[in-house]
Amino acid sequence: MKLPTELRTGVRFMAVLNKNHREILRRSGMKWTPLHERLLQFHMGNLEFACGSSLADVSWRCWDQNEDMPSFAGRHALLVDGTAPIITKLTEQLDINFDIKVKNIEYERKDENDGYPIRIATEDALGNRKSFECDMVLCTMPLKVLQTSPDLFSPPLSGEKVAALKGIGAGLIEKVIVRFSEPFWEEYFEPGNFFFGHVPKVPEQRTVFNLFHDFSKRDGPVENRSYVLMSYLGGRSVDLVNEKSDEQIVELFVDVLKSLFPKKSDKIKAIDSFVTHWGKNAFTGMSYSYVKINGTGDDYDTIAKSVDDKVFFAGEHTCRFYPQTMTGSAMSGYREAGKILQILHKEKQ
């Protein structure tokens, strides 16, 4: 039996959206104005931000599969000092080797008499090689790194896991953070408002700074306060960060703000900025995952499966119901730590 279009995993989100849009207009007889189109494009841009991808590459059936699980209650929290203090606390007393690249994880060594069952081969920037031996390894490499490193594991991962890695997409957005001398936008919004939108003039701009997030630090002495806005490029516009200089990207950021606040244009001057280039970073290559066409939420579970109780996997791309989040990434780490502790406990009995 042939499934309806809406139930097939190989159907693109954009295709169904366009089809339903045409059908609604036909049945309702409403007049579709340029303003309607701009608002539609704004919301499509938000979806492309949420997925980290153009809607043309996203599964219609499974794009929001994680919403089958209730999410966390309460308001969003804003870490104005960033996550560094948390990471620093979590990594206390850990032996972390920096600036070395994992070249190979050999997890079925033939001769285990004089060593451990797993050997991890690494190399630093100068070409110096070093190996680590262990009983178990927890792999938290980003999805994009796993997808583009076919020789990482010896022996290679199973066909089932490789297929799952292809079913989940390595989503990408690039963030732009700009600091200003004063919060010129503040008087237009209610206290506690953390973001505001920018409705694009043309469809091609729907993921060019369509949401601005207020990351300002307003507490403490005046001299310690900073007024910061963050926005992003996504969808088909994400490559702008590689086609233009950082200075040009920040100038575009400022120009959009001037179009939103024309009466404040003389005050809208960047005094500091930062532009991410995650897509070009060989050790990240992405922002967060999404379900591709022909993929399903089951692929997250398959990626998360351990191999022979030796190789374990964690990261947002292994957390089916909380992907794309720091929460999901942290939960996956606790999950795998629990698995490893259970195995060690059984071995001691």
pLDDT one-digit tens code per residue, 166-206: 999 999 999 999 999 999 999 998 887 889 999 999 999 99
Q: What pLDDT band is residue 6 in, cutting at 50, 70 and 90? A: low
CB 13 within 8 A of CB 250: no
- Predicted model pTM: 0.90
Q: What pLDDT band is residue 112 in, cutting at 50, 70 and 90? A: low
131: which DSSP letter? E
pLDDT one-digit tens code per residue, 39-78: 999 999 999 999 999 999 999 999 888 887 777 888 777 7
What is the amino acid identity at position 318? T
Q: What pLDDT band is residue 211 in, cutting at 50, 70 and 90? A: very high
Q: Please, where in the chain does CATH 3.50.50.60 lie?
A: 97-170+285-348
**CATH number belonging to the domain at 97-170+285-348, selected among 3.40.33.10, 3.40.1030.10, 3.30.70.2660, 3.50.50.60:** 3.50.50.60
Q: What pLDDT band is residue 36 in, cutting at 50, 70 and 90? A: very high
Q: In what order do the strands lie in the sheet with 227-233?
A: 195-197, 211-214, 227-233, 174-180, 272-275
CB 290 within 8 A of CB 143: no
In this structure, CATH architecture of domain 173-280: Alpha-Beta Complex (3.90)
3-state secondary structure of 262: helix
Structure tokens at 108: 């079925």
